[in-house]
A and B are shown apart, each in its own frame.
Chain A
Amino acid sequence: MSFWGYPRPDGSAGTRNYVGIIATVACSCDVAQDIVNQVDRTVPFLHYQGCDHLQPDKELVERTLVNLGWNPNIAGVLLVSLGCEVVDVNSILDRIVKSGKPVDKVVIQKIGGTSATIAEGSRIARQMISDVVKIKREEMDDSYLTFGSKCGGSDATSGLAANPVIGTACDILIQNNGSVVFSETTEFIGAEHLLAKRGDSPEVRQRILDVVDRYEKCVLSWGVDMRGGNPTTGNIEGGLTTIEEKSLGAISKVGTMPIKRVYDYGERATGKGLFMIDGPGQDTKSMTALAAAGAQVILFSTGLGNPLGFPFVPVVKVTANPATYERMQENMDVYVDLAKLDSIEKQGQLLYQEVLEIASGKSTKAEGLGLTNFGGIHTFGPTL
């Protein structure tokens, strides 16, 4: 099967063709947004991190920004730095350069303030765009695709139908020699033993158990019941009683294939197959993990109706809740019919075809509504 993708110098293929204006730190986000406002076909990546980190989080934020720059949907990168932040803009730039894409930077404190940086950044971005627009879609094998698989705003219908249908689409892609990445470690608590069995080696099996255990220990150290935080009040109203129940429903979104490796948050998945990325369930931060891992399209099940998109990765909203689909049709891309629970596989095949269309340029509801502004990077340690 095939889709129409943008070829990249490193041999990958994009489903979109943007210049990414990536803020290295919270303090440069306004300038990054202002440059995007001035220059067509640019997208921002904005977040609250980049400073006041201990070393492990400094490395995490840097590698996340690097790998967002490597995402195949980004054709060129302009880094927007303040100048005094903890993360190293020069190191980030050098590492993105290796992808073969055009990369540049503007530093607010060096150029001399907001307005001058917006002007210089816009000039550089316009120059990049003039080359980027020449790149045309080519017909490509679907093995060039990496799906991100995600759930958010879950209710009981997520585990019954929406996640299994997404899981079927993920299995199809892996059988076609593509890749799938998934995250949300907190939402494996209670089901990790089932995931671990699918680990491709003893090391992967143990790592799956270890990352879940680490998250649970963090929760326990706070001396509270995680219920109400995850599962959320919305999840609970939607019928999910415990994290165990939520997790057992969540794991079906990753299909049935062996799990090749567990990556750290912000790492890029290399090779073909199914890969786990360690990280939280929180929606903006987990989508960032999937984008950094290389996902060119995200399949996102939502029972209650999450509207979020992502700056440069199309997010396909799949719901099996008929009331949600009716009320929030402007936000939902695909409806999975609960009356057809016997035909999950067929619905998965239909979803796969729809995702190939979206990969080839069809707009998602979130893109059409402009709900693509929020990124977010997870950090594990304290903010200093």
Chain B
Amino acid sequence: MKRKSIILNDKDNVATALTELAAGEVIQMEMNDRSLSVTLLDTIPFGHKFSLTRIQSNSPVIKYGEKIGEATADIQLGQHVHVHNVGGTRGRGDLIAKEKK
């Protein structure tokens, strides 16, 4: 059976879809000794991420065992995680400009 998703590191709070996944689908995953079952709340396009846990607004999003950004809204388990609910913390000249005003 074709693998549906991958978790890259056991510190990650997101998984990456290896094929398009439908809202409502239940994804079973294994990570070392961790067994997870996630019901997707959104369609997840190929290569996009979904959350493995609730991620509170302003909390770190972790992939590759490293911080890739911060949630800009509360993210529920099984939600699509992308630019609509995650901001980067690097190269944010817009925040510097905002502070100056």
Contacts and interface: CB of A to CB of B under 8 A. Distances in A.
B87 A242 contact: yes
Contact of A244 (B16, B68, B94, B95): B68
Interface centre among B45, B46, B96, by most chain A C-beta atoms within 10 angstroms, is B46
A244 B69 CA distance: 7
Contacts of A341: 3, 6
A139 B97 CA distance: 58
A167 to B, nearest CB: 14
B2 interface: yes
Interface in B60-99: 61, 63-64, 66-69, 81-83, 86-97
A130 to B, nearest CB: 52
A248 interface: yes
Interface residues of A, number: 36
Given A225-B88, A239-B16, A190 B68 contact: yes
B24 interface: no
A189 B91 contact: yes
Nearest to B91: A226
A239 B49 contact: yes
Interface in A205-230: 216, 219-227, 230
Interface string B1-41: 01100101000000010100000000000000000000000
B49 A244 contact: no
A224 B81 contact: no
A155 B46 CA distance: 10
Contacts of A338: 18
A338 B66 CA distance: 22
B60 to A, nearest CB: 10
A236 B18 CA distance: 16
A276 B81 CA distance: 32
Nearest to A192: B90
Contact of A220 (B49, B83, B92): B92
A224 B69 contact: no
A191 interface: yes
B66 A155 contact: no
Nearest to B92: A225
A156 interface: yes
Q: Is the interface of B mostly helix, strand, loop or mixed?
A: mixed
Contacts of A230: 91
Given A239-B49, A339-B2, A244 B93 contact: no
Given A190-B90, A223-B97, A227-B91, A248 B66 contact: yes
For chain B, give the interface size range: 20 to 34
Nearest to B8: A160
A330 B83 CA distance: 32
Interface string A93-129: 0000000000000000000000000000000000000
B16 A156 contact: yes
B67 to A, nearest CB: 7
A251 B8 CA distance: 15
Nearest to A247: B90
Nearest to A323: B46
Contacts of A221: 93
A157 interface: yes
A253 B96 CA distance: 32
A236 B92 CA distance: 16
Interface in A225-263: 225-227, 230, 236, 238-239, 241-245, 248-249
Given A239-B82, A244-B88, A245-B69, A220 B64 contact: no
Nearest first, the 6 closest Cβ-Cβ pairs linking A and B are: A156-B47, A223-B97, A226-B91, A242-B88, A239-B47, A245-B68
Interface of B: 2-3, 6, 8, 16, 18, 45-49, 61, 63-64, 66-69, 81-83, 86-97, 100
Interface of A: 155-157, 159-160, 189-191, 194, 216, 219-227, 230, 236, 238-239, 241-245, 248-249, 303, 321, 323, 338-339, 341
5 contacts: A159-B64, A223-B93, A245-B68, A248-B64, A248-B66
